[in-house]
């Protein structure tokens, strides 16, 4: 809805991860932002498609499917969707599968709206490209349903790195952490030897100084000190 | 690294014992600041070589670099004992420049002295680890000997199996108590002396020859 592929016109929900790896349909990587207010007016196309992708994954469970369909139909109503074939089929499926009382309400809405939609569709279908219509039809076809989960899974592959944005930084951190730990330990060791409270005030850990192989040659005013390694010290 | 160093240490120590007659033992004079280490070192050096080791001062941390006086020959009972004397900076766990301000020192000088004293402690600890064959541990008998520094240093010396002679210095002072030192470190022989006055130095030289000869 808020995002639309500028190449094929496919729409994506706000925050959709699919578009992060390019449009699953055409591979396009340019998307235009469409605020909700505009969405309701302009893009019936995008509206039609996004509801459908949720459906395939939900096809496994009847409840999920019906919920997905109701969501799709509601969007269609709001956006004046053109998905007659798809919604019609979905509505049929929903009505057939919807055994619960709660499901009965939504098909009722579907059917009543379906009629109005068909009228709108016939009007808009004239103005629309056949390619767009076929694209929508393609999306709805059962053949595409298995593909979309694939794209989902692909997108997931893309996403996990992206969606796990916190993670990738962590991984490098983890790889760096040992070094940092070593550094800190090294620094701690040094502070354990000589702690500079302020220039001219020092606390000394005699055991640490004794245990060190390095020989502290000179203290700097900034708290650093230079050391002489045993090899050079011992000629 | 540590293994190599240890190996090299043990080899050099073995070598030093093999050639002990040729190579004088290096005796470190250790102790807290202002115990009289440099006064003692100067006393020994003057008595046997005619030279001094370094300047003495009532201001703590006058000695901030280990100073060595080599080939000090001490004659006892017709026998000659040759040692290198290493006068080390006073060992302490805290160095504070404000302590020096009380001795009419400018702040910059006091801070520098403090920094050098700290370097000196590090150096002294390093010498103790690798470069001394025996220790003369000097204590001010007018002060409490039972301190963290003394206990730790004597413990380190013991762990190194280094021969150590404890000297109770400043017996010329009224507050001096040699017994307090003996009580604190009963496992070691304590020799009273006044390095400043030269009191009881004969016994000190006897013991040096006995311990480090």
* Pairwise CB contact (< 8 Å): B114 & A200: yes
**Whole-number Å distance between alpha carbons of B53 and B71:** 12
Q: Do A204 and B118 touch (CB under 8 A)?
A: yes
Q: A185 and A209: one domain?
A: yes
pLDDT at B142 over 70: yes
- Out of A172-181, B98-107, B109-118, B190-199, pick the least confident: A172-181
| CATH number, residue B126 | 3.40.50.300
Q: Which domain holds residue A211?
A: 171-233
> Structural domain tally of chain B?
1
Report the distance separating Cα A1 and Cα A4, nearest Å. 7
> Count of H helices and E strands in chain B?
7, 7
| Structure confidence by residue, pLDDT tens digits, B45-75 | 999 999 889 999 999 999 999 999 999 999 9
How does the average pLDDT of chain B come out, rounded?
A: 90
To the nearest 10 degrees (0 to 180), the angle between helices A84-97 and A101-127 is: 170
Residues of chain A neighbouring B151 (CB-CB closer than 8 A):
none
- Residue in chain B closest to A221 (alpha carbons) equals B115
Predicted pLDDT of residue A209 = 87
B147-153 contacts at long range (C-beta below 8 A, 24 or more positions apart): B147/B32, B148/B93, B149/A206, B149/B32, B149/B91, B149/B92, B149/B93, B150/B31, B150/B32, B150/B184, B150/B185, B152/A206, B152/A207, B153/A206, B153/B30, B153/B31, B153/B91, B153/B128
Highest mean pLDDT among A224-233, B11-20, B142-151: B142-151
Q: Which of residues 195-224 of A touch B (CB under 8 A)?
A: 199-207, 209-213, 215-219, 221
Supply the pLDDT for residue A223: 63
Domain count across chain A: 2
The reply to whether A131 and A209 lie within a common domain is no
Q: Do A199 and B115 touch (CB under 8 A)?
A: yes
Q: ipTM of this model?
A: 0.82
Residue B208 has pLDDT above 80, yes or no: yes
Distinct helix (H) and strand (E) counts, chain A: 11, 7
For A165, list phi and psi in degrees, rounded to 5. -40, -40
Tell which residue, A62, A51, A57, A53, has the closest CA to residue A102. Answer: A62
Contacts of A12 (CB under 8 A, 6+ apart): A1, A2, A3, A4, A5, A18, A19, A31, A46, A50
Radius of gyration of chain A (CA): 32
Question: pLDDT at residue B182 above 90?
Answer: yes
Residue B53 phi, psi (nearest 5):
-95, -45
Cα→Cα distances B27→B87, B96, B130, Å: 9, 28, 12
The answer to whether A217 and B119 are in contact (CB under 8 A) is yes
User: Rounded to the nearest 5°, which phi and psi values hold at B210?
Assistant: -70, -45
Contacts of B152 in chain A (CB under 8 A): 206-207
Cα radius of gyration (chain B): 17
A-B contacts (CB, under 8 Å) = 77
Question: Given this model, what pLDDT does residue A95 score?
Answer: 41
Distance from CA of B174 to the nearest CA of A (A): 31
Residues A55 and A75 in one domain: yes
Name the domain boundary from A163, A180, A198.
Answer: A163
Residue B110: what pLDDT? 95
Residues of A in contact with B122 (CB under 8 A): 193-194, 204, 209, 215-216
A216 contacts in chain B (CB < 8 Å): 119, 122-123, 126
Domain limits at B142?
Answer: 26-212
Clarify whether residues A137 and A209 are in a common domain: no
- Residue whose structure tokens are 């409270």: A197
Residues A155, A221 within the same domain:
no
Q: Which of A200, A220, A223, A233 to mutate to test the interface with B (most CBs of B within 10 A)?
A: A200
| Residues of chain A contacting B94 with CB distance shorter than 8 Å | 202-204
Checking if the pLDDT of B161 tops 80, the result is yes
Select from A118, A139, A163 the last residue of a domain.
A163
User: Which residues are bridge partners to A5 per DSSP?
Assistant: A31
| pLDDT for residue A17 | 75
User: Chain A closest CA to B211's CA: distance in Å?
Assistant: 24
Q: Does B50 touch chain A (CB under 8 A)?
A: no
pLDDT exceeds cutoff 70 at B149:
yes
3-state secondary structure string, B116-134? HHHHHHHHHHHHHHHCCCE
Q: Per-residue b/e over A137-154, b at no fewer than 16 CB within 10 Å? A: eebbeeebbebbeebbee
Question: Of B27, B37, B83, which Cα lies nearest the Cα of B60?
Answer: B37
Residue A232 touches chain B, beta carbons under 8 Å: no
Domain-ending residue, one of A104, A138, A163 = A163
Residue B106 confidence (pLDDT) above 90: yes
Residues of B in contact with A199 (CB under 8 A): 97, 111, 115
Q: What is the pLDDT of residue A100?
A: 42
Residue B171 within any structural domain of the chain: yes
| Strand-pair category, A225-228 with A201-204 | unpaired
pLDDT-based confidence at residue B162 (cuts at 50, 70, 90): very high
Q: Assess whether A102 and A148 both reside in one domain.
A: yes
Per-residue pLDDT of chain A (235 residues; tens, 9 = 90+): 578 888 888 888 877 777 778 888 888 888 887 776 554 444 444 444 444 444 444 444 444 454 455 455 445 555 544 444 444 444 444 444 444 444 444 444 455 454 445 444 445 445 555 655 555 555 555 555 545 444 444 444 444 444 444 444 444 444 445 565 665 556 555 556 888 888 889 999 888 888 877 776 677 766 676 776 665 545 4
Residue A48 confidence (pLDDT): 45
| Distance of alpha carbon B99 from alpha carbon B113, whole angstroms | 10
Cβ-based contacts of A201 with chain B (< 8 Å): 95-98, 114
């Amino acid at each position: 809805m808020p995002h639309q592929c500028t190449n094929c016109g496919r729409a994506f929900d706000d925050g959709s991860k699919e578009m992060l790896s390019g449009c699953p349909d055409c591979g396009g990587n340019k998307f235009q932002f469409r605020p909700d207010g505009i969405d309701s007016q302009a893009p019936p196309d995008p509206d039609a498609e996004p509801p459908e992708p949720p459906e395939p994954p939900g096809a496994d469970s009847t409840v999920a499917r019906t919920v997905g369909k109701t969501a799709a139909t509601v969007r269609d109503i709001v956006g004046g969707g053109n998905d007659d074939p798809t919604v019609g089929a979905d509505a049929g499926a929903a009505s057939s599968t919807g055994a619960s009382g709660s499901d009965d309400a939504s098909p009722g809405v579907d059917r009543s709206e379906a009629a109005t939609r068909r009228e709108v569709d016939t009007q808009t279908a004239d103005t629309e490209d056949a390619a767009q219509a076929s694209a929508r039809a393609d999306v709805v076809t059962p053949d595409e349903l298995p593909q979309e989960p694939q794209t989902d899974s692909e997108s997931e592959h893309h996403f996990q790195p992206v969606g796990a944005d916190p993670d990738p930084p962590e991984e490098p951190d983890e790889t760096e952490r040992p070094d940092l730990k070593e550094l800190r330990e090294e620094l701690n060791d040094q502070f354990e030897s000589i702690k500079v409270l302020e220039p001219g005030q020092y606390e000394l850990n005699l055991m640490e100084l004794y245990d060190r192989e390095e020989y502290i040659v000179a203290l700097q005013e900034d708290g650093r000190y230079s050391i002489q390694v045993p090899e050079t010290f011992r000629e | 690294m540590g293994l190599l160093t240890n190996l090299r240490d043990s080899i050099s120590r073995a070598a030093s014992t093999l050639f002990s007659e040729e190579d004088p033992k290096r005796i470190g004079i250790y102790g807290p600041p202002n115990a009289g280490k440099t006064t003692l070192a100067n006393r020994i050096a003057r008595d046997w070589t005619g030279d001094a080791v370094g300047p003495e001062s009532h201001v703590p941390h006058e000695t901030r670099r280990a100073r060595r006086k080599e080939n000090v020959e001490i004659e006892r009972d017709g026998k000659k004992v040759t040692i290198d004397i290493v006068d080390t900076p006073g060992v302490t766990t805290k160095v504070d420049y404000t302590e020096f301000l009380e001795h009419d020192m400018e702040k910059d000088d006091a801070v520098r002295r403090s920094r050098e004293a700290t370097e000196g402690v590090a150096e002294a600890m390093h010498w103790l680890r690798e470069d001394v064959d025996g220790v003369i541990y000097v204590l001010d008998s007018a002060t409490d000997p039972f301190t963290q520094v003394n206990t730790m240093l004597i413990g380190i010396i013991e762990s190194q199996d280094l021969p150590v002679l404890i000297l109770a210095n400043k017996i010329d002072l009224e507050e001096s108590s040699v017994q307090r030192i003996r009580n604190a470190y009963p496992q070691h022989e304590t020799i009273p002396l006044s390095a400043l006055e030269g009191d009881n130095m004969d016994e000190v030289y006897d013991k040096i020859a006995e311990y480090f000869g």
